[in-house]
Amino acid sequence: MEKTMTTTTFELHGYQVERNLGVVRGIVVRSRSIFGTLGGVLHALVGGNITVFTELCEKTREEAFDMMVSHAEELGANALLGVRYDATELMGGVTEVLCYSTAVVVSPKK
């Protein structure tokens, strides 16, 4: 599925929904390494963007998104509507990132 066929909105401009295949999701549970945590703490003392945490968040969100897309493709979807992210701290240093949306089959509007 092309990234252009995913959207946070509930319609895809120029396409009509032919079938709704239901909710799909990708879930990643990630912990920080002791080295990453230490690096982040030291960086926090200096201030600014804590790049080690930013990179971890970006990688985790990308993995959850890719899992969601794979789930949708398994169902036969060619588009995803209403893409959302959610994150929950399960315990200190362990976070769940959930990416979810509605898998649909769309066709170009006539």
Domain annotation for the chain: domains and CATH numbers: 3-108 (3.30.110.70)
pLDDT in tens, the chain (110 residues): 898 999 999 999 999 999 999 999 999 998 765 445 555 455 555 555 667 677 888 999 999 999 999 999 999 999 999 999 998 888 877 889 999 999 999 999 98
| Radius of gyration for the alpha carbons in the chain, expressed in angstroms and rounded | 17
Token digits of residue 79: 């588009």
State the Cα–Cα distance between residues 29 and 13, nearest whole angstrom. 33
Buried b (16+ CB within 10 A) or exposed e, 14-31: ebeeeeebeebbbebebe
Which pLDDT score, from 0 to 100, does residue 47 have? 58
Token digits of residue 35: 């080295």
Which pLDDT score, from 0 to 100, does residue 32 have? 61
Which pLDDT score, from 0 to 100, does residue 64 have? 97
